[in-house]
Every structure is written in C-alpha cells, then in structure tokens.
Amino acid sequence: MSTLSDVTVAVLGLGAMGLPMATNLVTHGAAVRGFDIAQPRLDLAAAAGVTGCGSAREAATGADVVLLAVRNAAQLEDALYGPDGVVATLPAGATVLLTSTVGVEAVREVADRLAASGHRIVDAPISGGPVRAGEGDLLVTVGADDDAWTATQPVLDAMAGTLVRVGDKAGDGQAMKTVNQLLCGVHIAAAGEALALARALGLDPALALQALMAGAAASFMLGDRGQRMLQAYDEGGAEVKSRLDIFVKDMGIVTTAAKSVHLATPVAAAAEQLYLLGEAQGKEAVDDSAVITVLAPSIAVTGKEN
C-alpha cells in the first residue's frame, strides 16, 4: 500500500477513540467502513463520511485493514471469533490493526490464531485522547513483523503524531503501552491528591492548578485531568472523555505484568486501589478525573471536609 487512497479500512468500535480515528482516516483519503453496536455512534460516523455497516462482518468484508478499537481482551476475542467475528469472512492476507490496551498475553495468543488462518496482526496500542485521535496526533507504539508493518504503515502514519516501532512481534506494543499506562495512571492519581490537598488547605484549586503547571510539578495529566477535576464536584461532573473503569483495567494490566517479571511496583499498586475504590463507589462510567472525589467526597473550603 503506497497511499491511503488505495486502502479500505474497517473500524470496529466507534467509541471515544474509534470514531475520531475513523474520521481522521476519512480526511486522509481512506475508504472507511465502520461498525458499532450503538446507533448514535454510527450516525455520527456517517455524518463524517464513514460508511456505516450493520455488522462487524459486513464492515470487514473486502477490507485491507481491520482496525479494532475495543475495550478489553474479551471484546477483542468477540470481535474476531464471536458470533459476528470477522475472521470468518476476513480476506486472506488482510491485517488486523489492534489499537486497544489488552495486555501482552492476550495479543500474543490472538496473533498465533490469526497466523494459523493466514492473517496478520499489528499490535499498535494508542495514547493521547479523543482530540488528538481526531487530529492524527496520537502516540502509537507498534509491535509487528516487517510484512504487517509495511501493510499498515500508511494507516499508522495518518493516525500518529509519534509512531514508534518498539519490536517485531505482537505483544511488544502492549508491553510499551503497559509502561505508558503505569505513568498515566499514577499521574492522574497524583493530580487528584494534589488538587484535593490544595482545596483542603483553603487554596483556590484553579489558581493552584495554574501555578503548578508553570513549574517543575507540571505534567500532561495534571494539565489535562486537572481542568476536569475542577468540574468534578459540579452537577453531572466533568464531560466523560476517559472512563474511570478504563484505568481499573489498565492498572490491572500493569500490576499483573509487573508480577509476571517479579518487579515491585508499589506506587502503581496504590494507584490501582484508588481506581478500584472509585469503581466500588459506582463511579466506573464517569470521567477518570473523578478520582479526586474518591479522595475527597465533598468540597473542602476551609481546611475541613463539609
């Protein structure tokens, strides 16, 4: 494949990340077909030039690349081998482009099965959020052999602001994303602690955030999630851009991976517990910036909780 105009891409999963990735590929000239179980997402995709399909198999039929934007390993299995699984109708030689974070072992198991049926896989988990997905400015860490890499490079180039091939086999991309998510999960938790403390000490949290972002304590997650943490106590909370239960999953992947190599990750483990507490409080579907409300359930204005 030399240019995206020669490529037909099926995007399965038109959620917070799948939809902007699909629309970005359309703007780069690819023929994009999409499927999602939620009709409103299909409607949004159609308005952006994505051809909506009634099933995953319909979307994947004749596709050069099947881009998967699923939530977890169970959805990956279902997308490929479930009742509407695309492997049954996927053309020989087609490539599965996995953009989700599902863990090393899950991807390697799927890679072996795909190889047996004559299909390739590119392990390419993404990072950066919906806005950057729509702009083609994601961090994409890739594990793929030479053939799979070549087959999908035009698609990857359109998706990524930073594209790093970290290894030549499936699972290598997941390993790098696992390291990335350790830092992201810890940084969000730390941002929540910092802004909760600022408020509890009687500081204006918006002013505190502005000051912190001007100094050595600044981080992407503090700047990004910090803004939404300022809205966490509003009625309805912050707009959901990344669900809290995504980090329940991802920090579970982090701590499981660390245990598999006998590496202690006490800070990551503590952050994982914070997300689990949020889930236990019924916050699994709210924005992950709501971790601040797990630490401080009510607004503190004078150094004490109301």
Active site residues: 177
Q: Which amino acid is at 112?
A: D
**Centroid of chain to Cα 297:** 27
Q: What is the DSSP track for 205-257?
A: HHHHHHHHTTSTT--HHHHHHHHHHTTTTSTT-S--SSBHHHHHHHHHHHHHH
As a whole number of angstroms, the distance between CA 185 and CA 208 comes to 21
Distances (CA, A) of 150 to 65, 81, 122, 146, 168: 12, 25, 10, 6, 12
Distances (CA, A) of 256 to 81, 243, 290, 302: 25, 21, 24, 40
Task: Please list, in sequence order, all residues whose beta carbon lies within 8 angstroms of the beta carbon of residue 161, skipping any fewer than 6 positions away.
Answer: 128, 132, 135, 136, 137, 138, 139
